[in-house]
A = this chain, B = another copy of it.
Amino acid sequence: MPAIDAEAFLRDLYDLRKIGAFRTGVHRPTYSPQDMESRRWLMAKLTECGLDASIDGIGNVYGRHPGPGPHVLVGSHIESQNEAGWLDGALGVVAGVALARAGLPVDVCAFADEEGHFEGGFLGSRSIIGELSEEEIDRSRNRTDGSKLRDALQAAGLAGKPRMQLEPGRHKGFFEMHIEQGTQLETAGLQIGVVTGIVAIWQWRIVVTGQQDHAGGTTMAERKDAGLAAVRLLAAIDAEFPRICGERSTWTTGRITLDPGAPSIIPGRADVLFQFRDVSVPMLERMEAGLRALVREAARRERCSFELQAVSKAIPALCDPTMMAALSGAAEAIAPGKWQEMPSGAGHDAQNIARRMPAAMLFVPSIGGISHHWAEDTKDEDLMQGIRVLDEAARRFLAA
């Protein structure tokens, strides 16, 4: 079996970057002419590397290894956010091409619309695991211009094509290589992140009800200030959460709306959007218990009432320990001391594929953490180290 060709991998990435080029990034919204051109480019590359290439009814491009297994699946997405980076998604797809070129028994997939140009998002990875209905496709519209997904599929020449499904039992696991989209690796001077899991978001709405009053006539002692009660609760969360959270837990207050929001009126109502994230369900549950206790305590202490609504509670996607061990071992062999384990704070196709097979992810650094912007970039040497580690990890995992 030939060794991995990191230079050819880089050449492929730079080739793909020309399709839909926008400044130093790319503009390849899902099913646009540029996106479809990139899918045709990919099919040619897969064929060149000896895979049987096809495109399905949702736009997934699939390269099937013709030889015997065991196989691994490798991939990501190939469309981009609008006027965004050249590596987000493309990296994981071209990594699959590189492993195929090196003769590994890999299937390669570019999942359509991970970026969610259409309502629902993750169309390709949800379709291939059987979790995207025809009814949802009928309903979904483009988030930018409101046009119908069905019309976009028709225009792209995909209407009427069957949608492929994963072949049960065919794959030992799924690898997705991706840019970090943060500054962890760069700040620590590392080249490789072995992803432990994709965090789940537990999103909450906190509604505080007090008494709307004129700010002139109402003494401080008489007030039932919903805004101040919300501020005190959020300050208490800020003080308490570090004691109950995991090392990489995050929590965020994204919005505070005071009603009526006028300078001389004591707010009668405060509406807060609050979320926390972690890869561990027991940790998420502990944070929920902590949040509930703080809200109860606030309700006891304040002259306002509190309502805590769970808006959404997702399930984190944990990475497969055997695959993680293969990645860690490969990273230590190729980039000793230059890697770490870390969660993924953002969502990826891997979270869907993980529902059907073991899955794992490998991160390479993002320069300055820039993401979803045309200035997104990663050093060539980090990209090359990444593909070397992925290649070695896939070999170790296949042999395990």
Contact = CB atoms under 8 A, between A and B. Distances in A.
Interface of A: 180-184, 187, 199, 201, 203, 213-220, 222, 225, 227-228, 231-232, 234-235, 238, 242, 248-256, 258, 261-267, 273, 275, 277, 311, 344-347, 369, 371-372
Closest 6 interchain pairs by CB?
A: A216-B345, A182-B217, A235-B235, A215-B252, A217-B345, A255-B261
Given A217-B182, A228-B238, A235-B231, A264 B275 contact: yes
Given A183-B222, A263-B275, A264-B201, A231 B253 contact: yes
A214 B346 CA distance: 9
A178 to B, nearest CB: 11
A277 B263 CA distance: 12
A346 B231 contact: no
A67 to B, nearest CB: 38
A262 B258 contact: no
Contacts of A215: 250, 252, 254, 275, 277, 345
Contacts of A219: 182, 184, 248, 250
A253 B228 contact: yes
Contacts of A242: 220
Contact of A232 (B187, B238, B251, B266): B238
Contact of A345 (B184, B214, B228): B214
Highest count of chain B CB atoms <10 Å: which of A228, A262, A263: A263
Contacts of A273: 263
Contact of A203 (B201, B225, B252, B263): B263
A232 B214 CA distance: 25
Contact of A225 (B184, B252, B258, B265): B252
A213 B372 CA distance: 11
Contacts of A311: 263
A345 B220 CA distance: 12
Nearest to A260: B254
Nearest to A245: B220
A291 to B, nearest CB: 15
A398 B248 CA distance: 75
Contacts of A203: 263
A253 B264 contact: no
A94 B79 CA distance: 76
Nearest to A234: B231
Contacts of A263: 203, 252, 254-255, 273, 275, 311
B258 A255 contact: yes
